Each structure stands twice: as structure tokens, then as C-alpha cells.
Structure 1
Amino acid sequence: MAMPSADSWGSSPTSPIGFEGYEKRLEITFSDAPVFVDPCGCGLRALTREQIDSFLDLARCTIVSQLSNKEFDSYVLSESSLFVYPHKVVLKTCGTTKLLLSIPRILELAAELSLPVLSVKYSRGMFIFPGAQPSPHRSFSEEVSVLNSFFGGLKSGGNAYVIGDAFKPRKKWHVYYATEEPEQPMVTLEMCMTGLDVKKAAVFFKNSAIGGCSSAKEMTKLSGISDIIPEMEICDFEFDPCGYSMNGICGPAASTIHVTPEECFSYASYEAMNFNPSCLVYSDVIRRVLAGFCPSDFSVAVTIFGGHGFAKSWAKGADVASYMCDDFVEQELPGGGLLMYQSFTAVAPGCMSPRSTMEIDGWSSDGTETAEKSDEMCIGWDVQKKGVMKDADA
């Protein structure tokens, strides 16, 4: 994935072997400011572009595109994405970015707005090129040390987990979580894919001779990304000579995709958060994502806050043709949270059966429209407004 700003960060070059697709993801949630300080409830959305740039500069990334609605602001970055809600910031960066170096500035800006920290979550998979990562991302223990220096004093203390089969070291999921009190209901789905099908990956090259596309809009349509959650308004961006990013928004719900299509280190990620799980079919979302990339391996991490009941059963519903689940882990998190992690490996050529592919497109093999296409969707979770819950158990 060639980034336009790659050469401008002389201290943080991309790996000479290839571009690191696996993202580092930081999510910080804040409690309400006193009403006399922020009577309109703007919170972090009151930050200026200059202030946002000030912490992105520290992480070594820049804004390339923006899309907003009444609930939040989304930014496509030179390396992945940023989402700013009134009481939550989610920063996701790939390559050799220094994401954790942005924390002091984010906390400084939040303090100026009288927003106290409620919780923090940091997650990532296994880097393809771990030796190319700069400090403070040279190891998970180094990352945890930095996170604890800022958030270890929260009521739960800092909690770090390395999840996955010890005999499959390339399929590890790293999570750090600390919280002051339980959060409001929220479900986040993070999906990481490697070994992309060559023809599927070619869509994300700006080279028509190999089946590529001339624009981000064309990549979005041809890959089927626009059909994963059709209600999402999409802001997409193509990189030169290859690579792709998009953010999708719908009410308080967000989705994002990032693609590094080069064959020797191909990678794609999908994330959806703040959605109402009762209005989406888990297995349909997974299949639609897979249809655009046909990876040889993928993992899914579903993080649930605010009660496990329906969301837990929802996240167990995947039935993916041509893939074998080779790991499944449930990890409880402080404050009543739950992380469900699964990894899959392809067991047959191609990621989908012909019938499954047709169903993903919204039509069954007999030509009738499938239920999930005709169902009215209600993506946003109405209670998810400010990202905090006071004086109540989640």
C-alpha cells in the first residue's frame, strides 16, 4: 500500500520488505464535561482541524479525506482512519506509524475540554514485519508499558491479553483494556485478512492492465464493498500506485476498510462499530466481506459491552463456506466486557461456493431476493449517544 506521505517521515520508513498492513487501534472514551463547560454537548467534536492534526502528526499520519454526520466525524488518513465522537476518539493506523505517541496530546486536548477519561482499548493483530516497527511498538510489552503509564491508574487497572493458539504464533490478537466504570452498550467487529486472492487484490491497483481501477469509487463498487452494509454513506480513497481506504457512516454506526494488495504481503481489514446487532446478520456481513477479498486466512474479534446476551449469540452465528475455524476464544474484560476471537483458514480453493456468492449479492440460486436484502435495516443503536453510562451497571 503506497502512501503519499511515506517519504515525508524520514524517521519512520516503511519496511524494505513490504508495507505493514496490520493496524494498531486505539479507542479512548471520555465521561461528560460539566454542563456549564459544554452546554451543547459537542465534546471532542469542538476540536479544530489544527488540534486534530497536532496529535496525528505525533502518530505519523495525515488526513486525506473527511465525512461527517450529526453523530460524529470520520477521517480517512494516509495510514488508515480516525473517528471523533463527542465522547470518544478511535484512531487506527498501519505501516510503521507511532500511534501511542499521540496519547499525551489527545489527553491534553480532552482535559482542555474538561473531559475525564472513562476507558481505553488498544488492539492489534500480529505484525507481518515486526522487526520494522519503531518504538514504542517494538513489542506488546513495550506498548503495555506506555499504556499503563497513562491509564494504569483507572479503577480496573491496566489489563493486557495475548489471545490465540500458542501453536499458531502468526494468529495472535493483542488487547489492552482499562476502565473507570462500565460503558454503554456497544459492539465492535474487527476483521483481519491475509493472503488475498490475486484477482480480487488487483482491483485495488491503479493499473487497468492487471484488472485494476481508475478511481476509489470504481474500487468500492467492483469489489462489492458498497454492498456490505448498503445503508452506509462511504468516503473512499485510492493510493498511488495501489492501496485503498474507506470509511462508512450511518447514524452513530461506522465501518472502515483498508487494503494492502501487494501479493507477497497482501492484507485487508474490515471494522464495524456502534451498530445495532439485532439489525445485521453476522454471517452475512462476514461473507460479504470475504467475497471482496477471498483471503487464505482471516480472523474476527468481536468486542461487546453493555450485556452479553443477544450480542454473544449473534457473534457465534458465522457459517463460512470453504473455511475452517481453527481457534475460538472468549475473554472477559473489566467492566462487564467480553471479547470473542476466532481465526479461520481456507480449506478449499476460492473463499465462497457459487451458491453462497450469489446469496451475498442479494439473490438466491433460484433468482429470488434474499431476506437480508429486503429487510429494513436499523444500523444505529439509539441508546449509543455519548458513549458513557453513569450510576448504572452496563
Structure 2
Amino acid sequence: MAVSGFEGFEKRLELHFNGDDNGLAAVKLGLRRIDFDSINKVLRLVQCDVVSAVGNHFFDAYVLSESSLFVYPTKMIIKTCGTTQVLKSIWPLIRLANDLGLTLCGCRYTRGSFIFPKSQPFPHVSFKQEVVYIEENLPDNLCFRKASVMLSKLPSCSWHVFSAGNGDHFLSGDTFTVEVCMTGLDRVMARKFFQTNHHSSAAKGIENINPRAFVCDLEFDPCGYSMNGVDGDRYSTIHVTPEEGFSYASFECVGSVYDDQDDIFHTLKKAVQVFKPATVSVSTTSHQREGRTRVARAMEPLGLNCRSFAMDKFPAAGTIVFQTFTAARRK
């Protein structure tokens, strides 16, 4: 393990808003009306920039210099890696939304365990400090709050969650969110994410994960990769840090609880299969608890065994199930 290197584990912030017009904001542009310069100013506080963008009828997706940003009419998700300070975006984003007549009604913050925790700047020096900072920047109407560390039997593999809501809004609604963190990537696959190899996303296997999605991606110099997939009103995103000793990849996707959920877990299986990691952690967020067995069924054919399981309920977010898996010893 390297003493210090690039931190692959992302910090993920999700903010939900409602409008003064009794819900009509949801069918308008809403947060998508925030101009590009204002978004950039917020991102500079976070310590990242927009490098590419794509949008459709439903939302806008931005590939950042440090991961991704998704903007829906009443929802915003910002996910950043490295030593970014994503929580510094909370109050500026609230102000921008207020200028559009939108009020914050829900917040969720999640992350894994940092590989290099001592390299993180304020307010990310500890989960306790992160929670204090979030609560100081949230309005009083988000009075239902909970912070928890979902532990794992694996060392340095826990899931940190903070959620807050006003009691009237559920962040997940009918959405099913899957967040995947992978470490110890297959060395042959990891080498494809160094720019000198010039492998296309198809050659890496990325485009095959969800063939329906329009892929907006970027290869970083000298190494690293980020991708946003746009499929109707749903996004997926992949980020890769391929360096030996602290290799890491993440995959995130969303679906509806009314869909055939076998489809989303088949997508999960294909994503993990691309990277052949030694360790995988999977967090699922929804108002259902059935994801546990489906995740395990998706991982078992890949030679990944479940090592730990945790489940908890969070205000506005619903039920979060966190599972960790490890691969059999590689030959």
C-alpha cells in the first residue's frame, strides 16, 4: 500500500428541493435554470471543474475533473473524489435554488472509508466533523436527521451516511439507487486506464454495461477514467483510479422500484465483472429491503463471497442496505 496517493473513494452529496408552486416546479426546468457560470463558481469552492457535459429532456450530466454532477429540476447529485471539499457546495447551492423559488427539503451524504484519510482537508478530516459541518449549513426545516457508520467485518471498509428531511419528502421516492466501491482491481484491466494504452470504452467493456445509455466519458492524463451514462431519466456513472497499490473503481446507477429489478442487478454484475476487483462494497437505497439477496446472487457467479451485511433506516432516504464481498485468492 502506498503511503499516499490519489484518493479514489468519492464523497456523494444529494440535495432535493420543492417549489412554491405546489409541485409544478418538477415539470419545469427548475435547478436546470442555474447558469453555467454559477455552477462553476460552486465547483471552484469544491476544488473541481467541468470537463464535459451532456443533457436530455430529463436532466443534465457533467463529467468533472474529480467525478460527476447530475442536475434534475428538483434534485442535484454531486460526487467528487480526491481531496475535494464537496460539502462546501451545500450553502451556495441552497442559495441558488432559493433564487429560483425552490426550497431544500432533503439531503443525503454518503461515502466509503478513505484510503488516505490523513490527506483529506476540512471539513472531511473525519465523519464527525463532516456531520457537524452539514448540520451547520442545513436550514431548520430539515429537522429529521440521522448520521450513522454502517460497519463491515473488513478493515477500513465501512459506509458513512448522513440523511435529513423535512418529514414530508422522501429522497428516494420510487428510485432505487446502487452505489458500488471496488478496490484491488485486476492488473490487466487497470492498465487499460492509462492513457498510453488508448483503449476505447468499448474495449474496456464500459459500453457493454448498459448498451442503451449514451456515454459521455473522459480519459485523464496520465491515467484515470470517468464516465456518465444517460438513459432516459436515469444516470449511471463510473470512475477509475488504476494505480497499483491503491487501485479503485466506482459504479453507480439508478432504477425504479416498479421495474424488473433483476435488470439493474444484472447491470451491477456486468460492471463488477469488468474490473474483477478483490473487494467490493455495495450500498442500495430504496423503500424496499429485497435488494440484499439480489446483490448476493449477482456477486456469487463472479467468485465474490459476502463477508458482511448491515441495514438501517434513514429519514427521507428510506432503507439502506450495505454489503461487502471479497474474491477468492487470485492465482
* TM above 0.5: yes
1:123 matched to which residue of 2?
110
| 1:6 corresponds to | none
* 1:33-44 matched pairs, under 5 angstroms: 33-34=20-21, 41-44=28-31
Aligned residue for 1:194?
183
AA of the residue aligned to 2:55: S
Give 1:78 shift.
0.2
Once the two structures are TM-superposed, the CA of residue 319 in structure 1 deviates from its matched residue by 4.2
Q: Which residue of 2 aligns with 1:168?
A: 154
- Residue deviations 1:9-30 (CA, integer Å, cap 9, x gap): xxxxxx9821000000000000
> Cα offset for 1:320?
2.1
CA distance in 1 between partners of 2:143 and 2:174 (Å)? 18
C-alpha distance in structure 2 between counterparts of 1:284 and 1:64, whole Å: 30
How far the C-alpha of 1:152 sits from its partner, in A, is: 6.8
State which of 262, 268, 274 in structure 2 corresponds to 1:292: 274
Counterpart for residue 264 of structure 1: 245
Per-residue deviation, 1:333: 1.5
- Pairwise mapping of residues 180-219 of structure 1 onto structure 2 (< 5 A)? 180=166, 181-183=168-170, 184-207=173-196, 212-213=197-198, 218=200
1:244 match:
225
Does the CA contact (< 8 Å) of 2:255 and 2:264 recur in 1? no
In the superposition, relative to structure 1, how do residues 111 and 60 fare at CA in structure 2: closer, same or farther (>3 Å)?
Answer: same
CA separation in 1, counterparts of 2:241 and 2:37? 29
Q: Deviations over 1:249-287 (max 9, x none)?
A: 111110000000001110000000244541643442232
Task: Name the counterpart of 1:366.
Answer: none
Question: What is the one-letter code of the residue matched to 2:189?
Answer: K
Distance in 2 separating the partners of 1:233 and 1:339: 28
Amino acid at match of 1:318: A
**1:190-215: CA deviation from partner (whole Å, max 9, x where unpaired):** 000001111010110112xxxx225x
Which residue identity lines up with residue 198 of structure 2 in the other structure? C
CA distance in structure 2 between the partners assigned to 1:141 and 1:333 by the alignment = 17
Query: Which residue of the partner structure matches residue 273 of structure 1?
Result: 254
Please list every run of 5 or more consecutive structure 1 residues that lacks an aligned counterpart in the other structure: 1-14, 351-394
Work out the CA distance in 1 between the residues paired with 2:289 and 2:98: 35
Question: What is the TM-score with the length of structure 1 in the denominator?
Answer: 0.78
Going from structure 1 to structure 2, the CA distance change for 1:173 and 1:39 (only over 3 Å counts) comes to closer
CA apart distance, 1:329: 1.0
TM-score by length of 2: 0.92
Per-residue Cα deviation, 1:84-132 (whole angstroms, up to 9, x for no partner) = 0000010000000011111111011011011111100000000000000
CA distance in 2, matches of 1:39, 1:92: 22
The partner residue of 2:33 within 29, 42, 46 is: 46
Does the 8 A contact of 2:106 with 2:142 survive in 1? no
How far apart, CA to CA, are the structure 2 residues paired with 1:336 and 1:60? Answer: 27
Q: In the alignment, which of 172, 179, 187 is matched to residue 165 of structure 2?
A: 179
Distance 1:178 1:266 in 2: 32
- Aligned-partner Cα distance in 1 for 2:76–2:35: 14
Cα deviation 1:52-82 (Å, max 9, x = unaligned): 1111111000000001110000000000000
Q: How far apart are the structure 1 equivalents of 2:132 and 2:182?
A: 28
Whether 2:15 is the aligned partner of 1:28: answer yes
What is the rounded CA distance, in whole Å, between the counterparts of 1:297 and 1:152 in structure 2?
Answer: 38
Distance in structure 2 (CA, Å) of the matches to 1:269 and 1:40: 31
Query: In 2, Cα distance between the equivalents of 1:40 and 1:294?
Result: 41
Distance (whole Å) between structure 1 residues aligned to residue 62 and residue 29 of structure 2:
17
Name the structure 2 match of 1:63. 50
Match of 2:300 in 1: 320
Q: Which of the numbers 123, 132, 138 marks the counterpart of 1:145?
A: 132
Matching of residues 96-115 of structure 1 within 5 Å: 96-115=83-102
Letter in 2 for 1:22: F
Please tell me whether residue 308 in structure 1 is matched to residue 288 in structure 2.
yes
User: Secondary structure of 1:225's match?
Assistant: coil
Q: Structure 2: which 5+ runs fail to align?
A: none
Q: 1:348 to 1:149 in 2, by over 3 A?
A: same
Q: Which amino acid aligns with 2:57?
A: K
Contact 1:33 1:113 in 2 (8 A): no
**Is the Cα–Cα contact under 8 Å of residues 282 and 317 in structure 1 kept in the other structure?**
no
How far off is 1:224 after superposition? 1.0
Identify if the C-alpha distance between structure 1 residues 94 and 331 changes in structure 2 by more than 3 Å, giving closer, same or farther: same
Q: 1:344 to 1:296 in 2, by over 3 A?
A: same
| Separation in 2, partners of 1:154, 1:213 | 50
1:45 CA drift (Å): 0.5
Conservation of the 8 A alpha-carbon contact between 2:26 and 2:73: no
Q: For 1:281 and 1:35, locate their aligned partners in 2 and report how far apart those are by CA, in whole Å.
A: 34
Partner of 2:207, secondary structure, is helix
In the comparison of the two structures, how many residue pairs are matched? 325
- The aligned residue for residue 73 of structure 2 is 86
Q: Which amino acid counterpart does residue 81 of structure 2 have in structure 1?
A: C
Q: SS at the partner of 2:51? A: strand
SS in 2 for 1:71: coil
- Using the TM superposition, give the Cα deviation of residue 290 of structure 1 relative to its aligned residue in structure 2, in angstroms: 1.8
